[in-house]
């Protein structure tokens, strides 16, 4: 056993440099696979480190390289996110990929109106469901750090890398289904223009309805709204003013309950006179008085894809930047609410 490694203490990088006859900086670069040096020099340093049973201190290495080996996760309302199955599944997918690559996941503080006091100490960031009026999301996206958006970037945000569920294909599948059974006029209830998801749903519905000669009506609400009574008050006047509406598509579960209340309020029957579907399936829909056709969003797969894309960028893989948008398939579960 080398005198430098007699078991009495841990071997340091300085020990390796001394034994190999090189500077501390050269030894560090060689073991990291960096720097310009003769092949023989690099091989000698690596062999010396192996003989001395040198083990790199990852914390110290991180301090020298500036890497934290952690990624950040931002949501406009992180506390609410921790209570929603979809967002927990998304986080699970992120964590699974990050841990497989020995990275930590940090939940970033959320406050849509107040700027951060400092930038998070992470190598890259995933912004979940970005909103154009979320000040902290905007700070992160424009910070110069590697950032991947989980779902569409809204208008007004700088362009960037996004991983999204394939909402467009799923929505068109639902519309084709109800069209085959006589769809004439529809209502879409979705988040406002500050949400890229809401805008994507509106654009999909608008394009499809124009192509099929179907009248389309729209109602908007604040992203994350969970008050079914408020959404009922939004939907009811639209139904009264447009009695020909025979299909309502809502972005989330609260909209379904609001629409059901509004349909009853105008003297019609949900699922019979007015069919219903939801753009996001979930446990809450199980409480509806009829089985609701819904899009089963791939939350875990979406989170995993965001983490894979972000870590590829962090590791310097430029191919991760193309295509700018990556889509994950989303399945439609057809149920009673779209059957007359």
51-55, 78-82, 290-294, 336-340: range with lowest mean pLDDT: 51-55
Judged against a pLDDT cut of 70, whether residue 59 lies above it is answered with no
Q: Are residues 140 and 181 in the same domain?
A: no
Q: Are residues 172 and 293 in the same domain?
A: yes
Q: Are residues 129 and 244 in the same domain?
A: no
Q: Are residues 175 and 289 in the same domain?
A: yes
Q: Which of 36, 65, 94 is the last residue of a domain?
A: 65
Please report the pLDDT score of residue 230 as a whole number. Answer: 97
C-alpha distance from residue 301 to each of 40, 70, 129, 265 (Å) = 45, 20, 15, 39
Please report the pLDDT score of residue 65 as a whole number. Answer: 52
Burial 229-244 (b: 16+ CB within 10 A, else e): eebbebbbebbeeeee
- Above pLDDT 90, what percent of the chain? 65
Q: Are residues 243 and 278 in the same domain?
A: yes
CATH number at residue 112: 3.40.50.2300
Of the segments 171-185, 305-319, 322-336, which one has the largest average pLDDT value? Answer: 171-185
The residue to which tokens 């000698």 are assigned = 44
Judged against a pLDDT cut of 70, whether residue 63 lies above it is answered with no
Q: Which of 65, 97, 118 is the last residue of a domain?
A: 65
Distance CA 311, CA 205 (A): 34
DSSP state of 5: G
- Tens-place pLDDT, residues 169-214: 999 999 999 999 999 999 999 999 999 999 999 999 999 999 999 9
The boundaries of the domain holding residue 46 are 3-65
Distance CA 115, CA 131 (A): 15
Mean pLDDT of the chain: 89
Judged against a pLDDT cut of 50, whether residue 3 lies above it is answered with no
Distance CA 279, CA 274 (A): 17
Judged against a pLDDT cut of 60, whether residue 9 lies above it is answered with no
Q: Are residues 203 and 293 in the same domain?
A: yes
Q: Are residues 183 and 279 in the same domain?
A: yes
Q: Are residues 135 and 150 in the same domain?
A: yes
Q: Are residues 305 and 184 in the same domain?
A: no
Domain count, the chain: 3
Average pLDDT over residues 96-109: 94
Give the SS3 label for residue 338: helix
- Tens-place pLDDT, residues 226-282: 999 999 999 999 999 999 999 999 999 999 999 999 999 999 999 999 999 999 998
Judged against a pLDDT cut of 90, whether residue 80 lies above it is answered with no
Q: Are residues 140 and 91 in the same domain?
A: yes
Please report the pLDDT score of residue 2 as a whole number. Answer: 44
- Tens-place pLDDT, residues 116-158: 888 899 999 999 999 999 999 999 998 888 999 999 999 888 8
Chain center to CA of 314: 17
At 70, give phi and psi (nearest 5°): -145, 150
Please report the pLDDT score of residue 36 as a whole number. Answer: 75
Q: Are residues 277 and 209 in the same domain?
A: yes
Q: Which of 65, 86, 107 is the last residue of a domain?
A: 65
Q: Are residues 175 and 124 in the same domain?
A: no
């Amino acid at each position: 056993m080398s005198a430098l490694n007699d078991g009495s203490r841990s071997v340091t990088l300085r020990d390796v440099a001394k034994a190999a006859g090189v500077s501390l900086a050269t030894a560090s670069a060689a073991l990291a696979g960096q720097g310009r040096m003769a092949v023989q020099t690099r091989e000698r340093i690596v062999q010396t480190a192996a003989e001395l049973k040198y083990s790199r201190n990852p914390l110290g290495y991180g301090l020298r390289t500036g890497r934290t080996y952690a990624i950040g996760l931002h949501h406009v309302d992180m506390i609410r996110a921790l209570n929603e199955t979809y967002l927990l599944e998304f986080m699970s997918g992120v964590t699974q990929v990050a841990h497989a690559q020995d990275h930590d996941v940090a939940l970033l503080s959320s406050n849509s109106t107040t700027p951060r006091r400092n930038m998070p100490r992470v190598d890259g960031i995933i912004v979940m469901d970005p909103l154009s009026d979320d000040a902290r999301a905007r700070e992160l996206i424009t910070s110069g750090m590697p950032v991947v958006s989980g779902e569409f970037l809204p208008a007004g945000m700088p362009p960037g890398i996004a991983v999204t569920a394939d909402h467009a294909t799923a929505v068109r599948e639902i519309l084709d289904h109800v069209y085959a059974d006589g769809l004439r006029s529809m209502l879409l209830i979705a988040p406002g223009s500050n949400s890229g998801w809401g805008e994507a749903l509106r654009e999909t519905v608008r394009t499809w309805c124009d192509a099929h000669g179907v009248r389309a009506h729209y109602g908007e609400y604040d992203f994350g709204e969970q008050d079914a009574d408020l959404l009922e008050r939004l939907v009811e006047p639209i139904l009264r003013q447009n009695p020909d509406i025979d299909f309502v598509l809502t972005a989330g579960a609260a909209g379904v309950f609001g629409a059901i209340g509004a349909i009853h309020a105008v003297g019609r029957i949900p699922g019979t006179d007015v069919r219903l579907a939801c753009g996001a399936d979930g446990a809450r829909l199980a409480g509806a008085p009829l089985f609701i056709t819904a899009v089963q969003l791939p939350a875990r797969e979406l989170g995993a894809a965001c983490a894979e894309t972000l870590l590829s960028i962090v590791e310097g893989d430029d191919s991760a930047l193309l295509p700018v948008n990556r889509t994950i398939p989303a399945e439609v579960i057809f149920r009673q609410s779209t059957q007359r």
